[in-house]
Chains A and B, each alone.
Chain A
Amino acid sequence: MSGQRKSLLSGGIAKQALKDSLMKLNPAVMMKNPVMFVVEVGTFVVLLMVLFPSYFHTGERIGFNLTVFLILLFTVLFANFAEALAEGRGKAQADTLKKSKKEMTANKIVGGEVKVVSSAELRKGDVVIVSQGEMIPGDGEVVEGLASVDESAITGESAPVIKEAGGDFSSVTGGTRVVSDQINVMINSDPGESFLDRMISLVEGAARQKTPNEIALNTLLTTLTLIFLIVVVTLAPIAKHFGISLDIPVLISLLVCLIPTTIGGLLSAIGIAGMDRVTQFNVLAMSGKAVEASGDINTIILDKTGTITFGNRMASQFIPVGGADYTETSYWAAVSSVKDETPEGRSVLELVKKQSMEVHPGAAAAGEFIEFRAETRMSGIDLADGRHVRKGAVDAVKRWVLAQGGSIPADLDVESDKIASEGGTPLAIAVDNRIYGLIHLKDTVKPGMKERFDQLRQMGIKTIMCTGDNPLTAATIAREAGVDDFIAESKPEDKIAVIRREQAEGKLVAMTGDGTNDAPALAQADVGLAMNSGTAAAKEAANMVDLDSDPTKIIEVVAIGKQLLMTRGALTTFSIANDVAKYFAIIPAMFMAAIPEMNVLNVMNLGSPLSAILSALIFNAVIIPLLIPLAMKGVAYKPISSSRLLSRNLLIFGLGGVIAPFIGIKLIDLAVHLWI
């Protein structure tokens, strides 16, 4: 899906954004952004002076005024363009989604008979039959049957998934296609409220509300705008007293340079782009607030199975018993597994390979594979030379060996108990009447998890692992994975209890879940990420849904949230820091005519007062489009401690924000001064 989206970006989005940025000039729309609204009003005032020079007695400055007007207009347009571009990416995605939301027919069951109706007529509680090749007409639960469903329209994942009645895989989404078999679906959403509808309005930005932090930041930006408005308005009468007349376009230029137009113009684009990054990541956030909250997370609760570990047991060690040597034990373990296609069997061969030992398939090639059966609880191979090799549950193998008149090595029970106490599963290996040793099977932590948890710890985020295992097993995995804490033998209520406990300490908690019994905890968590494969109840309770159903993504979501907040802070700092240089450009320029000594303050040695003002104004305008890529992509985020992160960003955006405009304005002035 992401590939599809990128190609869309290079296509019509930019063109559409250009058009939208003109549409957004409508004052009623601009009002929502007070900083840019002030710029627009200023633009309009200068425009009047250009159009009616005789009325305002501005005839002799018409060239300058026209230039100021154009720069101001572009400042507003640039800001609009940034917002339109961010919105455009969402819209393009919404369009593809809308295509899958075409009107379709549904086979509704009415009193035992099938009736063909339009999908728009379906209401909560209706039951429909969906057969192979048909679209599922609305969100619902499978109430009968089993089918594989292609959900690529929503998830972008082309491999079909199995949906069946009952259990955690019963929920289906409207707009997806049944590729095999037939299911009965009970619809659980009314038209306009389906998952697809919500998704469309989310990515379109129609349901976008300002997040709490955005509202607070907007208050600050509006305040700064008002302060500088006071500064500029009061400056005119004071200057007049000293015989310095300041033209209105000059005052407007000063005002526009001082108010935080950079962040004011990019603020909503940053927010939209942040949401969009989450969406591109195939996670659907129900609100911007949820993305913001994910940046604040202190604690992440993760399920062990499937998230931290692979969830299937893998051979990790061979333990010889009864005087057998290690090579022998691993040899027979390998032989027993040569034809074994189960994950356990394959993992035995992998372990042998890892220990760079030879496996002789020749010995087993001619043998006959004995499949695992519930009654025997063993599998193995009958070799061509008549020897029988078996591996399986320790007690089953013991019985098999005894039955053949063999004896049980004295250390077998000790070793197998040791494996069990470490949370592993022991498998015994026997050849005819002799037990050679044990295979230690254990749940394996996914590679890279430990490093990720270390990173999280540096970011100040604690990880808690939830597992149904006994405390011993849980402790082993927890130590191996490097999580900070774990809950063993956890029941769904335990998760809620942990979330409440952490929240009472003032922490924000994130968790993932998919089952119906996870729903209350998902709702209680500050950030709840539900798996798309999960039940409708889980998805309803969560404030984010992962379309790929990959629970480890919660870690990346936290990073995206942090990145969003950092980008906002970085550009605000940059914008405010820019004022220093702009002052040094404009203030001497304003007063130089009356007080030639003011040239001392002209530290950039700008060509002339007029070119100084225009250069500052041009810098102020062009910095917006120059920063659009940064606003869209976000500030690079590295998982390091907060103080290092802060020093780094302060250096780049704070100090950089002070220095960059000095250089930028000087360079622009070199060009502008050629004309005036």
Chain B
Amino acid sequence: MAALNNLTEHLEAFVDVTRSPTHHAESLKAIATSLEKGVLSINQLVVEMDMYLTTTDDVVRARGSILLLAEMLDYLKSKPLDNAVVHSLIGFFTAKLAEWRSVRGALSGCLALIKRKGVAGVVTAVDAEAVAKSMAQSIQVQSLALYDRKLCFELLECLLEQYPEAMINLGDLMVYATCEAIDGEKDPPCLMIAFHVVELLARLFPSPSGPVASEASDLFEFISCYFPLHYTHTKGDEASIPREDLSRGLSLAISSTPFFEPYAIPLLLEKLSASLPVAKVDSLKCLKDCAVNYGVSRMKKHYKDLWPALKDALYASTKTDLSFGLESLTSPGFEMGEIHREAVNLLQRLVKQDISFLGLVVEDIRVNMVFDTISRYLRYEEMLDTSKLEVLVVSQILSVSARSSVESCNIIFETFFSRLMNTLGIVEKTSPGDLVHNENSTVSTRLYHGGLHLCIELLTASKDLIPSSEECTSTPESAQQSWCSIVNRFSASLIEAFTSAVQSSNDDCSADAYLGVKGLLAMGMFRGGSSPVSRSEFEKILTTLTSIIAANSAKTVKWELALKALVCMGSFIDRYSESEKAMSYMAIVVENLVSLVRSSHCSLPHPMILEATSEVCSTMPTYVEKMVEGFEEAFCSSFSDFCVSLGPMTLDRKVFTIVSVSISNKQGIESFLISNYYLENTCQVNGNFKSIENCSQLLECVTNKLLPRLTEIDGLEKSLVNFAISMWNQIESSIVFSYDFNGREFVEAAMKTMGEIVGVASVDSQNSIIQKAYNVISSSTLPAMESIPLTVAALEGLQRNLSTRDELILSLFASVIIGASPKASIPDVKSLVDLFLVSFLKGYIRAAQALGSMINKLVTGSGGTNISTDCSLEEACDIIFHESDSSKTICGSETFLGKICLGFCGSLDLQTRAITGLAWIGKGLLMRGDKRVNEIALVLMECLKSTNSSGNALHPSAMKHAADAFLTLMSDSEVCLNRKFHAVIRPLYKQRFFSITVPILESLIVNSQTPLSRTMLHVALAHVVSNVPVTVILDNTKKLLSVILEGLSVLSVDSVHKETLFSLLLVLSGTLTDIKGQQSVSDNAHRIIECLVKLTSYPHLMVVRETAIQCLATLLELPHGRIYPFRREVLQAVTKALDDPKRRVREEAIKCRQAWTSISSRSTPF
């Protein structure tokens, strides 16, 4: 009962037109839910609605009740209903179609019922017929509103789709109804459905005596008036249908039945000749659809008109500028407009469908004329535009026709190819294998560019016709033999001709080289065993291209073209897995290039060899393996060129003994270092500059070319890991390096490569590299450093630098550690920590970075079982800060490191190194979110005060390093501790550091005693502020603004801080524009303007001036009253900036001045 009460309420709500649409929807939903749950049955609902359904009030009856019922049914699409109910409902709606007031409800009711699927109770065919009849007789579609029209079309569509038999019974009636409905329709969504309705009708009545056939002319008239589609109102209707879809729908409708043919084709041809590009494209597309659907026999009638029209379209849409550039080697070489593309598609379709169309093409006078044109000009540039067009279009026509089918290809080749060869003076080979009159034939070859182009186009077209090996068996051999044998007859001389074209080319004309290489490429891309190009010929092509690469000594167009062609062929072989060709390729191209890499002396510059090799070899995994092997060898040979190898060479025994003695006797560090030094000087090795340069170039190639493509090439990772290990092997077996000149570059390159390889390697591979590296390091003299006690005296005593070999080993090892993932196992962590600690105190920053990475990735002690390390984070920290025994504070200023930093002991050098090192360690801790970083930050801030706690003044250089340490802590580093090197990164770590340090820095600034300390504190603060995400700044604008402004004025004093100043200025400019900062900016406007005005004449950095002026322009967004008083001041400053030495500043100044003048009164224009 309650349900019924509610029902009345909801019904009232729905019927009431004055209520809002949301109300309506709610009540509708409520009723639908109760129906669905079964609380209410349809019968009950209808009984309850009795009054509304029969009332004389039209509005209530139509809008309220019938629509309600219809919408309800839409909701209940999947609810099973009794057939009797469906029957009576559809009867009701059918009857209501005749009443125009309630037509919307009736239509949607019918639609909802007709759309019902099988299980849920469906409308019978008889009922559907009745609906269609009633609709056809009583509804004037075009007199209805937009939405109702759409419903009508949908209903028609549904009826035709779901009740084809019933509709066939109706016959003519449906066709009439459709014609009437479409006539005059203008709305895209309705048209979309209307076009589909036409298509359905055509499918329904295929017989030539059917209603569609008899009404074809009328029906076509109604739809053809939309062609070509043109939207008059393009904007504002987002929900509408895009032009392309509608045009496609129209095209399908037009091509839906062959009965339209007598009307459609003439119309389309007429539109094709129009000048409107859209009309051309549409008619070409539509003609293609028609060609598919109307069938050959009907199309045949129009060939005579079709061919000239199509030809004209091709001529009109082709541009004459043929590109001889690198990028067009694998593409047609000229721009393809949409018209052109569609024309080509149509041509291909027509030829494919009916070979007799080709007769028109073959006999065409213009096509035949082209051979004369070709032989008139030798060079492409010399041709007239008309001749160029002729050649391009004809080659396009012929190649497209050839591509369509094997049959057409045969015809084209039979008719034209020999003629073309004659024109070009290329002779066929008489007996298989050898060429008659080899010399004479090349001499008589006339390399007409136009002819070559046509020839290449034909070859490229035909190569797609070679079936892949599986299809090969099904195709009869004879079908494809014809063109294949023609090409085969000429292949040797063709290759000869192309080769001579490439070789005859010089630098100022790329056309020869381009055509030659493209021709060779086309010849080399024939697939499979039935290829017209034999293996020996294929190898000849490869040899030619490879020799071009090897012979050139500078990067010419020819060289690049040849390289690209080789890469194309390589990837083609890989794609179709042609094993035979792969073998040839390997033997000729890969081996040759790799051997070039290996030999350090050849005419080609080393970077070019490397580029060529890496490009060519990355086409297939096996080549990559080969290449990396080659690289390894090359590296080893050049490496051994500049260092003494321990293996085969016999060293001075004495020297060696000294070394071994000193290693065994670990106390005499000093003496061992001396001996090492001695060793280095006694061995006179002729360090080869070239080989060391080659080495670094090779490493750069590995990092820049190979590593980025790791994901694309399988098996590359493994080869690279082997490469890294062999690098270590090489270093292990060599004992002395003699480099000084290019050494730094080499070490840098080696570090980078090593780090990146480790970074991308899997954990297992990382482990093996680490193990190898560890073995090398433990056999070197470096472990001796671990045992140096961490006392000032000992560290100060360690004056002499490491030997170059040790330095290399240390740097490489540090790179390995930096790249290692947290899961990799590092042996003997404790002594490594010691080693790095000592080495960074000796000034090796890489060691500090490695230590930071290690600290970042170590597992905490409480973490329980860990397989990777024998040392937890806590232990490592204990070692570093040397404080495990005495006090609780682990890494504060009381520690040894802290004391050095604060200058309590040790020299200035030691102090600055310690500060830098501490920064890296702090970064490692900060990124993993460890609390110890707070104490490190405190130590660093302590360093920024003018005096330390015992009253000694801090050295300016130490203070500077401490300020820069904040940059290290906050900025994202490229070389270590980033995502690429698997750093452990806690989210929001920057924000956390910001909130800890900024208040302390602020208070320190307030209490600072000397100007220097104040400046340094500002630098530190600027580093922190400019590296934190902008949102954090915006949240704290109020607090930060004054300190930022103060910082800007303090930093602008000294040119040393210009970069810092700039980044701080960028922070300020970020706050100016944001809505959050607006209030405080407005409050501080006077100070901001004062500061910016000063910066407009900052002499040291242009971008600062530029940004300051831009900021001034931005300030105009503030309330007029706030900024007006500063007008004079700003204008003065900006006027001065008009005379700035830099142009960009002047441009900004002009804009800014203009803007500021405009707020002043009209009477002072300048």
A, B: real partners? no
Which residues of B are in contact with A by a Cβ distance under 8 Å? none
